[in-house]
Chains A and B, each alone.
Chain A
Amino acid sequence: MSALGELRSLKGAAAPKQRKQNKAAFLFLLPWFVGLALITVGPMVASFALSFTRYNLLSPPRFNGVENYIRMLEDERLHKALVVTFQYVLVSVPLQLGLALVLALVLDRGLRGLALYRSAFYLPSLLGASVAIAILWRQLFGVDGLINIALGWFGIEGQGWISNPETALGTLMILNVWTFGAPMVIFLAGLRQIPVMYYEAASVDGANRMQQFRHITLPMLTPIIFFNLILQLIGAFQSFTQAFVVSGGTGGPVDSTLFYTLYLYQQGFANLNMGYASAMAWLLLVIIAALTAINFWASKYWVFYDDQD
């Protein structure tokens, strides 16, 4: 069961009555409890408190009410960062998942060399988050880069894809789509879970392949699609490295690759506006939580759980 499945089932099923082993459990969980308090929850509370202050690390935080939040309403770079990030997420995540699903279906059972293909498609998702690949990307899409050389073969005149504000974000979207291998592996595992008897029954009833896909594969796969969607949405919203390296830390040209987290980094760690950065962090949390909540709500209408009677 995935983390999401676990969360879904937690409300149900009563645990069997058993003798409590509180002392042993406490000892085993001690490192985790300390981490939760000092590294996770404590800083969360502190970051919420800091979001109502002006704080530059050098002098103590000064309470300034909701000023940071009001400033966020007027900060045009912040608005730009939100637009850029939403564009990036809403375009690249569906493309990435679509490609992952198509490749998983083509690779599904009974194909020779499956392991080899799977590896080839999976490798980019391991490399994709690295600085090295971001460096490569910058050169691929540069004026003299590989992309323009390839376009030249077809007589198309290339351009500096990274230095053009119209296309810079697109190159980062392509990079995200390139890492479709991880969701593809999850889809493959999901396809394998569909009992073959469903297909048997369907073909006895004379369903063709398209109908089988439409009425068996797709519905049975919706929980996996949902899981991948949540995972990739949350991940894409927090993308940082690629934009940072490709734009040299600026989010340029003309803020066209100013990811939300990149702007947060600039505010907090380059300008030392730690109060403002904390407020930004909370907006990010609210956005991610809201997106996840909307997805959970919408999932009632399209996600099919086999275990619901």
Chain B
Amino acid sequence: MTKTDPSTDLAPLTESVVTGLPPERVREARRRRHPFRKPVTSILRHAFLIAAAVLMLYPVIWMVVSSFRPTELIFREAGLVFDSFEISNYVEGWNALSYPFNVYLLNSGLVVVGSIIGNLVSCSLAAYAFARLEFTGKKFWFAIMLLSIMLPIHVIIVPQYVMFSQLGWVNTFLPLIVPKLLATDAFFIFLMVQFIRGIPRELDEAARIDGAGHPRIFLQIILPLMVPALATTTIFTFIWTWNDFFSQLIFLTKPSLYTVPLALNAFQDAQSSTDFGELFAMSVVSLIPIFLIFLFGQRFLIKGIATTGIK
């Protein structure tokens, strides 16, 4: 609680640079803007925020706690106390479908890793061209790239399915990975363009004087400096691919190729009303990677959506 966000600590300094006011005056002004110095107001505000946070997270925590309860207790207990610690839900849920759950985890993992590699390679290449090179029709292509971010996948999914099924790629991971190798997640091109624009051009110039061509400038100057943007891309690709359901539902119909979301969906369909504990347990397993990413990659997540979201 005492640890404040580093960016808020820096804010007065940045602001004093922007406004030309000494930092102390900025801090003073900030306090005046938010006169929550009265302890009562401040306590009320914290009470409101804590209540809201508990309300928001209650269902998720309840699912975690319930996954350790015998099924017959789940729908009688609304509390969040670990009153029982039954891991049999996990053991039995793991083997409840035609394949053990690790098969689905591995499938999801393969699709995720392929997508991440694809996005990192193809989007960084395209971003370098848009951020650093001058070429004919640049504005036009850039506009096309921005528009393609907003294109709903549903408009292209039917012909894509026809194409991939003619190639014999249905029930392989290729339809999920190959498009990423071809930079179709244009959101990340945009994110990287934004980032590269912030890298001083003098660095490129210096390298060029030393005789480096574009491939070397890209590989040895730009790429090492854009690691934060690559990290953001990795994290977002992980989460979006891990959660993706629509395209996996369409391209993977063989149970041996099911990814985690497809397996959970099949589990719910097949399930008689008696084993909610197992269903919850596997749902919790499916959320663990997202939660870990959230814990360790939060900085990049918040930065990513804040910088691309802002004008």
- Given A2-B309, A36-B144, A228-B309: A135 and B264 within 8 A (CB)? yes
One of A62-70, A82-90, A110-118 at the interface: A110-118
A3 contacts the other chain (CB 8 A): yes
Determine if A159 is an interface residue (Cβ-Cβ < 8 Å).
no
A115-B122 contact in complex given A140-B59, A269-B161, C-beta closer than 8 Å: no
A284 CA to B150 CA, complexed, in Å: 12
Task: Enumerate chain B residues within 8 angstroms of A31, measured Cβ to Cβ.
Answer: 121-122, 125-126, 181-183
Answer yes or no: A165 CB below 8 A from chain B CBs: no
**What is the size category of the interface that chain A forms with chain B?**
35 or more
Using Cβ atoms and an 8 Å threshold, which residues of chain B touch A144? 75
CB–CB A132/B53 < 8 A: no
Query: What B residues does A20 contact at CB under 8 A?
Result: 134-136
- Tell me how far the C-beta of A274 lies from the nearest C-beta in chain B, rounded to whole angstroms: 5
- Could you tell me the distance between the alpha carbons of A284 and B153 in the complex, rounded to whole angstroms? 11
Cα–Cα, bound, A112→B43 (Å): 11
- Once A3-B149, A121-B56 are accepted as A-B contacts, the answer to whether A19 and B310 lie under 8 Å apart by CB is no
The size bracket of the interface on B is 35 or more
The smallest C-beta distance from A85 to any residue of chain B, in angstroms, reads: 12
Report A-chain residues with C-beta under 8 Å of the C-beta of B3. Answer: 115
B157, B159, B286: residue with the most chain A Cβ atoms closer than 10 Å: B159
Using A2-B308, A121-B53, A200-B29 as known contacts, say yes or no to A132 and B283 having CB atoms under 8 A apart. yes
A108 to chain B, nearest CB (A): 7
Interface string of B8-46 (1 = CB under 8 A from A): 100100010011010000100111111110000000011
Q: Is the CB of A25 within 8 A of B122?
A: no
- Interface: A18 (CB within 8 A): yes
Residue pair B15, A196 in contact (C-beta under 8 Å): yes
Chain A nearest CB from B225 CB (Å) reads 17
Out of B30, B32, B52, which one reaches A121, CB within 8 Å? B52
Bound CA–CA A87/B133 (angstroms): 46
Query: In whole angstroms, how far apart are the Cα atoms of A212 and B293 in the complex?
Result: 38
B165 adjacent to chain A (CB < 8 Å): yes
**Are the CB atoms of B310 and A190 closer together than 8 Å?**
yes
Given contacts A145-B75, A269-B161, contact A186 B183 (CB under 8 A): no
The listed residue (A29, A36, A135) touching B129 by CB distance below 8 A is: A29
CB distance from A55 to the nearest CB of B (A): 8
Given A127-B290, A241-B246, does the pair A115, B63 have CB atoms closer than 8 Å?
A: no
Assess A277 versus B158: contact at CB under 8 Å? Given A57-B165, A110-B30, A132-B264.
yes
- Chain A CB within 8 A of B160 CB: yes
A-B contact pairs, 12 of them (CB 8 A): A20-B134, A22-B135, A35-B183, A43-B159, A44-B155, A119-B298, A127-B287, A146-B78, A196-B26, A265-B246, A284-B155, A305-B311
